[in-house]
Structure formats: structure tokens, C-alpha cells
Amino acid sequence: MNYPSGQRKTLPVRKTSSEQGNNIFSNRGMTLEKDINITNQFYLDTAKAVIHKKPTPVQIVNVNYPKRSAAVITEAYFKQASTTDYNGLYRGKYIDFEAKETKNKTIFPLANIHEHQIDHMKAIIGHGGVCFMIIRFAAFDETYFMEAVKLFSYWDDKLKGGKKSISYKQVQQDSYLIPFQYQTRVDYLSIIDKLYF
């Protein structure tokens, strides 16, 4: 800035959290959902695919109007159980997937998934769609692509009294690691290309 006295003063520049760390990928401050949304926007902007986050159906019960321009929803409930997080089209194929993030270092708890979501995923596959799950282990900053059919075997085992989680090592073995990239932070289409095209 230039001041009337002719002296030029500069303010100290604060470093962002990513600049403060030694590793440029540490502490990105990004959630899995935000990373996927950025990726999907890039896919849309480059005409690669049309995939969006599904809105959760909500029934509004009560709204408070303190001012005409500032309505506040004070009571609402979910109309129905949601299915999966994302759906859309890629290369003529219907794409449908769920995304979950865990802070656990050793397991992915199956309690993060609901039976109606599994039923929905099975129906998608039954009709020829591409269905999968994206799992992020936040502690390691690793994101994995797990085909729905692999997920079903763990789910069915749980229903028979088996483990209520998938170990980190099993996720590594039965899934595809999605490397972080700048524009396509969660480039799951590159894995779909290898598996389906």
C-alpha cells in the first residue's frame, strides 16, 4: 500500500495450512464429499461425464420468519431413507455410488452403510448399471474404489454373524487406490475405464 507519507508498508502474509506442513497433501482441509464434488464439476466442465450428488428428500414442517428476507427452517424431517450419494451418466453407462470417510486406522465399519443402500446397489447392478463405493481412510489420506459386488460379500458375511467391519488391509486388497490429483481429486472414472471399457 502507498501511504501519504510516501512510505510503502506491507502486511505479513499468513501461510495456509497446506503451506505450513512439510507435505503439500497433508491437512488439505478437504472432506471426501467436497473432493468428489470438485471432481464431478471438472467432469461436467470438460464434458467427460454428468454425475451429481443426490439431494436428500426433506419435508419442512415449521419455518420461522423473523424478517421477510431471513426465513429459518426450525423443524424438518427426512421424507424417506436416502439411497446412495451420487448418480449420473458416463459413456452411456448409468453410474451410482456411495462415498464414506472414516477416521479409523484399522477398519471400515459396515455400520456406515444401511441395508436399504445395499438393496439399492444390488438393484442398480441387476439393471446393468455401474455401482461402487468410495472409501477414504482420513488418517492415511487414502481413497479407495470398491466395486459393489465386493462390498456385498462383506455385507452378506456380516448378516450371517461374521465381522461387522472390513479391515484396512482387506480394503487395500479388494479395492483400487485412487491417487489424489489437483483437478480430479477423486478420479474414479479412470478406474471405471479400466474395469468396464
Per-residue pLDDT of the chain (197 residues; tens, 9 = 90+): 444 444 444 444 444 333 333 343 443 445 999 999 999 999 999 999 999 998 776 677 788 887 777 778 777 766 656 789 999 999 999 999 999 999 999 999 999 999 999 999 999 999 999 999 999 999 999 999 999 999 999 999 999 999 999 999 999 999 999 988 888 999 999 999 999 99
**25 domain-assigned:** no
Look at residue 9 and tell me if it is in a domain.
Answer: no
pLDDT tens digits, 145-194: 999 999 999 999 999 999 999 999 999 999 999 988 888 999 999 999 99
CA distance 173 to 169: 6
The count of structural domains within the chain is 1
Domain membership flag for residue 1: no
Q: Is residue 3 included in any domain, yes or no?
A: no
* Structural domain span for residue 67: 35-196
Question: Domain for residue 26, yes or no?
Answer: no
Which residues does residue 144 pair with via DSSP β-bridges, in sequence order? 135, 177
Distance (Å, whole) CA 88 – CA 103: 28
